[in-house]
Chains A and B, each alone.
Chain A
Amino acid sequence: MIALNIAWTHLTSRKRQTAVSLVGVVLGVAFFLAVSALMRGSEKDFITRLIDNSPHITVSDEFRTARLQPARLRWPDDLVEIAGLRPNNETRGIRGWRYRLGQIESLPGLKAAPVLVGSAVLLFAGQEQGISLSGIVPARMRGVSSIEEKLVEGSLDDLEANPGGIIIGAGLAEKFSLRRGSTVNLVAGGGSNRSLTVVAIFRTGNAGYDESQTYVLLKRAQLLLGRPDRVNRFIIKLADASQALLVASRIEAMGTYKAVSWAEASEDILNVLFVRNVIMYSVVSAILLVASFGIYNTLSTIVMEKTRDIAILKSVGFQARDIRHIFVLEGLIVGTLGSVLGLAVGAGLMQLMASVQIRPPGGTAMVNLPVWWGGEQFLIAAGFALLSCLLAAWLPARKAGRLHPVDILRGAT
């Protein structure tokens, strides 16, 4: 391959200039990779927190749209005018929840747990505090909710073993100086007042949650809230969180209850993350674009210096296309070498960043910088570098292809 041979010779006979443009590409690719790894890493980290701290899908005893009246269902296409509608009071909760839960659990790749959510007032030593009460089946919460990992004292088994137990957050515990074994009083919608024993304490890091969320056994909650054998929520964890939207719509399709995926619930945050990615990729692409100016500069210089060679090649019988190939190849060589080295340097930078520990402002624990090692960003970085090198090489290559040998021969003689 003569073109490759000539291209290689051009580059190697100008080592310094080639090295400078190569360094430009290497740095461009390395920064592209390091910055995108950090940005995508923090995004994944954020989403993981978002996903882990909340169910992937929540099915609640609500409907997305108002329910159709029986008359409408009977004659959907006929003109039925129903005015002054006042629906019957619904008994709140998911009807036939055991059957529905079984149905949902028959879908592959998910785990579901029934929950009865309500509110209550916690009384302790003359103080009171509104709290959110979740009635759970501890065994079913495993693998569905991250509550177990967040426990700093006690365990889910302690709740299982103690029907009069309650799990509270660290914030609430500190506020009322409660610890394991403390007794609190709870008043809920059912009107009953029960004294419960603190069996475990959790800390999520979310202050609102840590101060107001509590867990009791499902049976206990049903009694407290005066809703025997009812649940009003299924929380669902998927093996693959990215399937949430799809699975949610399938669940909605089998029952009419509203199934909200984490992606739907956090749509605004996901939009912000998307915009952040767009900004990040524009900036790091600009770095590569600047690097490609180095290649443009080098190749333009080579074309100018090599007009005699180009003239002789053309007079000997090399086509304009062959000449263009030479210079495009030079761009590709610099781009490929620069990408490979840049990916290596970038991976080194990522390694370095991943090992750095920082204390976030206002935070208490040291955290590692979240670096994402996903392969797609390596491809994007290399692909974009090659593309900009190709672009940078194309202009000088076109100019070289257009050189007229006679103009150069006359100039030389």
Chain B
Amino acid sequence: MSVVLRAQGLHKILAGDVPTTLIKDVDLEISAGEFVCIMGPSGSGKSSLLYLLGLLDVPTHGTIALDGVNTQGFNDAQLTQLRLEKLGFVFQFHFLLSEFSVLDNVCLPMRRLGRWPEAQCHERAMSLLTRLGVAAQASKLPSQLSGGQRQRVAVARALANDPLILLADEPTGNLDTVASANVRQILHDLTRELGKSVIAVTHDPKFAAGADRRINVVDGQIDPDWQPL
């Protein structure tokens, strides 16, 4: 299996009167098509790690190579372009643009990327929405959808530009049990079907049960021995 993401010696230290270390000495590799869960206690640095791996934040030390490209020294514009082409995000809260229809929200990254003509963007978006079971909601505004539906739209948007890796930060953290199970299932099935790598931060042991691998983060460090309660 080829490695799509390689992090080496990651440190994230927040400057301040008392410098805070969020991430300490993290090494990890993600293979193509691999489904990885990140677990750990609350406030342990899971989100911070995900932001680094997702090129939303830059490490204080260490390097991240995405699809063989070492991102060290990249400026904001270069990192943004990489995110556009190779990464997709799903957050705990849906983070859809409230004034745009579901369809427009899914088309947004495609329009920015400009790889497909508008008609094809629509087609792709509709096909993703269909697979996620929210095609009937395409012309609605996000506020007219249930929490589970919104999160599925967010997944569709994350997959819009055919990314290499899908990064999710507690994607089911804000959903009830039924919706949570539904989103979890669909995320599993679809990413396997499409052959995407997934890095998902979660508190849900069921989520982790279906993953290829689990990474525990405790106090900003990887801890293989930690067990969820």
Contacts and interface: CB of A to CB of B under 8 A. Distances in A.
Q: Do A and B bind each other?
A: yes
A317 B57 contact: no
B24 interface: no
A320 B77 contact: yes
Interface residues of B, number: 31
B87 to A, nearest CB: 8
B111 interface: yes
A103 interface: no
Interface in B80-118: 80-81, 83-85, 89, 91-93, 95-100, 108-109, 111-113
A115 interface: no
Interface stretch (A38-46, A210-218, A304-312): A304-312
A316 B47 contact: no
Contacts, number: 69
A412 B96 CA distance: 13
Interface in A277-333: 308-309, 311-322
B56 A409 contact: yes
A83 interface: no
Nearest to B107: A2
Task: Classify the secondary structure of A's interface with B.
Answer: helix
A10 interface: yes
A13 interface: yes
B99 A13 contact: yes
Given A9-B100, A413-B47, A413-B169, A314 B80 contact: yes
Contacts of A319: 76-77, 80-81
B169 A316 contact: no
Interface string B145-167: 00000000000010001000000
A318 B161 CA distance: 13
Contacts of A322: 112
A409 B51 contact: yes
A316 B55 CA distance: 11
A317 B85 CA distance: 8
Nearest to A312: B95
A241 B93 CA distance: 72
Given A406-B57, A413-B47, A316 B99 contact: no
Contact of A317 (B91, B98, B100, B109): B109
Contact of B93 (A314, A317, A412): A412
A405 interface: yes
A253 B151 CA distance: 86
14 contacts: A311-B95, A312-B95, A313-B97, A316-B83, A316-B157, A317-B84, A317-B112, A319-B81, A320-B76, A320-B80, A321-B77, A322-B112, A410-B47, A413-B93
Interface of A: 2, 6, 9-10, 13, 308-309, 311-322, 405-406, 409-410, 412-413
